[in-house]
Amino acid sequence: MEERLQKFLAEAGVASRRKAEELIAEGKIKVNGKVITELGTKIDPQKDEVLYLDKIISKKEVEMIYIMLHKPEGYVTTAKEQFGRPGVMDLVSGIAARIFPVGRLDYETSGLVLLTNDGDLTYKLTHPKHDVDKTYIAKLYGTPDDMDLQMFRRGVFIDGRQTKPAKMQILEKGERQSTVEIIIHEGRNRQVRKMCEAIKHPVAQLKRVGTGELTLGDLPKGKYRHLTPAEVKYLKSL
């Protein structure tokens, strides 16, 4: 049965589907000895030979890895870092498969990051149409009032366009700062920080504590664990 080449590469654990598209466009993938650069190319995994870096790619030989990491502040979630800053992959050891982060969490933010070699799942979880909840606990400067909360819940304008409706609940009020729970559905660049700036209550500290029904729990900062079969099944059902 034929399938798109980038989907095959993602499911084989070569890279996320978006990265697989880049590899194809860069001429790094061969099918039956021929370099393929067209993204719409379809293959039959039972008949066609796919090579990356001159190695045959097969989905059957790849063990899917699913990891939850508690990212500390001061780490990047990109696979390659041009400025030499530490990355989340530096915190993971003893994994034979090539895994990569699902989405991004900015440098100053701590919390839940998923790591996997399942490119198809990565594509699903990061694609805007799937609307997977992301839950954060934030310390804000000042305390949002009812009007601020209404603005946040309707969606605010950042980077020239409006965000989807989000949720904010005040957990604790202090003299200069407040603690809130924030739930968003998108994954735009530094979205939570920019939304809070838009309602005039900038973020002092930010931590992602949940993705969908998965929660960080008491996983220590800088540590990771493998997802349970039930957790993997849940993610695949989204």
Give me the CATH number covering residue 90: 3.30.70.580
Same domain as 218, residue 120 = yes
Relative to beta strand 134-141, strand 203-211 is antiparallel
> Does 15 or 198 have the greater pLDDT score?
198
Residue type, 25: A
Contact in structure between 58 and 52 (CB atoms under 8 Å): no
Residue type, 56: I
CATH code for the domain of 149: 3.30.70.1560
Q: Indicate the pLDDT class of residue 208, thresholds 50, 70 and 90.
A: very high
Q: What DSSP character marks residue 128? A: G
Same domain as 205, residue 163 = yes
Same domain as 123, residue 19 = no
Residue type, 145: D
Same domain as 149, residue 113 = no
Distance CA 102, CA 118 (A): 9
Contact in structure between 211 and 51 (CB atoms under 8 Å): no
What pLDDT sits at residue 226? 96
Same domain as 90, residue 27 = no
Same domain as 123, residue 231 = yes
Same domain as 52, residue 100 = no
For the cut 60, the answer to whether the pLDDT of residue 100 exceeds it is yes
Q: What is the mean pLDDT of residues 4-21?
A: 85
Q: What is the mean pLDDT of residues 8-29?
A: 87
CATH code for the domain of 44: 3.10.290.10
Q: What is the mean pLDDT of residues 105-132?
A: 87
Roughly how many angstroms between the first and final C-alpha of the chain, as a whole number?
24
C-alpha distances out from residue 201 to 149, 170, 205, Å = 11, 12, 12
Contact in structure between 170 and 210 (CB atoms under 8 Å): no
Answer with the one of 22, 41, 61 that is the final residue of a domain: 61
Same domain as 70, residue 56 = no
From 44, 48, 54, 106, the catalytic residue: 106
For the cut 60, the answer to whether the pLDDT of residue 61 exceeds it is no
Answer with the one of 61, 93, 110 that is the final residue of a domain: 61
- Would residue 106 show up in a list of annotated catalytic residues for this protein? yes
Same domain as 113, residue 71 = yes
Q: CB 7: neighbour CB atoms within 10 A? A: 16
Same domain as 137, residue 118 = no
For the cut 70, the answer to whether the pLDDT of residue 173 exceeds it is yes
What pLDDT sits at residue 60? 58
Q: Which domain holds residue 148?
A: 133-211
Answer yes or no: pTM beyond 0.95. Answer: no
Same domain as 145, residue 188 = yes
> Does 219 or 238 have the greater pLDDT score?
219
Unique residue bearing structure tokens 């994994």: 95
Answer with the one of 61, 87, 108 that is the final residue of a domain: 61
Same domain as 142, residue 205 = yes
Q: CB 148: neighbour CB atoms within 10 A? A: 20
Q: Indicate the pLDDT class of residue 101, thresholds 50, 70 and 90.
A: very high
CA 213 and chain centroid, separation: 15
Q: How many domains would you assign to the chain? A: 3
